[in-house]
């Protein structure tokens, strides 16, 4: 189990293009910050699905569970962000890779950004990450006490935490070729205050001055 602080540090390194609040809320809902969590998706006769959760204590144990699930031809999702196995060939990964928290976050970032760029809003992006479409994640589910996925994430209109003022995932304009969201190093101390319009200019001599400076005397 990852602590919230450890997860946040990993998110900043491995999925920097998604706001930490957003990706942290998703991980807490999906896996409880458990990098070995597995959700087995069991198909029902009525056409629905039932989810069976597995919580192995190691990657090795997790891989054994995955092999058993594959024998039953069931879909499954793994890792801290619960990446579904149908995404594995799309991003050229496997269950072994997805048990690594950083790799799992890296793929989650790609999926979330793709969903956001196509959906246009945070709500639609969250639904897309959860179900693959923009609407199902916004609908109440009887298996979860009548709550929708975006409600379980903690999304309260108009957004989560710092995003409440706008439906923004804090991903830069997709047309831009470069992103600069967070500093590339730890910033310590206070940030400098804004400088007032009135500034005092100090001119220094171009060479070392020894002794006392001459004082201009005004003659009357």
Domains of the chain: 4-165 (1.10.530)
- Give one word for 132, left, alpha or beta, with left for phi > 0 and alpha for psi -120 to 50: left
For the stretch 115-162, pLDDT in tens is 999 999 999 999 999 988 888 888 888 878 888 888 898 876 554 555
Token readout for 214 is 């001459």
Long-range contacts of 89-97 (CB under 8 A, 24+ apart): 95/62, 95/63, 95/66, 96/59, 96/63
CA proximity to 91, closest of 80, 70, 105, 75: 105
CA dist 97 and 111 (Å) reads 16
For the stretch 18-70, pLDDT in tens is 999 999 999 999 999 999 999 999 988 887 888 999 999 999 999 999 999 99
CA dist 14 and 107 (Å) reads 9
97 class by beta-carbon count within 10 Å (0-12 exposed, 13-18 middle, 19+ buried): middle
């Amino acid at each position: 189990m990852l602590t919230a602080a450890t997860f946040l540090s990993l998110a900043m390194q491995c999925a920097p293009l998604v706001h930490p609040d957003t990706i942290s809320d998703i991980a807490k809902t999906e896996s409880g910050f458990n990098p070995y969590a597995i959700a087995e998706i069991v198909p029902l006769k009525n056409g629905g699905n039932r989810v069976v959760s597995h919580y192995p204590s190691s990657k090795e144990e997790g891989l054994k569970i995955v092999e058993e699930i594959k024998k039953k031809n069931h879909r499954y999702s793994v890792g801290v962000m619960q990446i579904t196995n149908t995404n594995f060939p799309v991003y050229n990964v496997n269950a072994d890779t997805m048990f690594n928290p950083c790799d799992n976050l890296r793929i989650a970032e790609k999926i979330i950004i793709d969903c956001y760029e196509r959906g246009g809003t945070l709500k639609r992006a969250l639904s897309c990450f959860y179900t693959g479409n923009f609407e199902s994640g916004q609908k109440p589910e009887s298996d979860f006490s009548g709550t929708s996925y975006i409600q379980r994430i903690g999304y309260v209109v108009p957004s989560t935490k710092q995003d409440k003022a706008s439906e923004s995932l804090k991903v830069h304009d997709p047309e831009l070729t470069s992103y600069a969201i967070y500093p590339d190093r730890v910033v310590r101390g206070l940030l400098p205050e804004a400088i007032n319009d009135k500034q005092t200019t100090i001119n220094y001599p171009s060479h070392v001055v020894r002794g006392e400076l001459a004082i201009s005397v005004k003659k009357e």
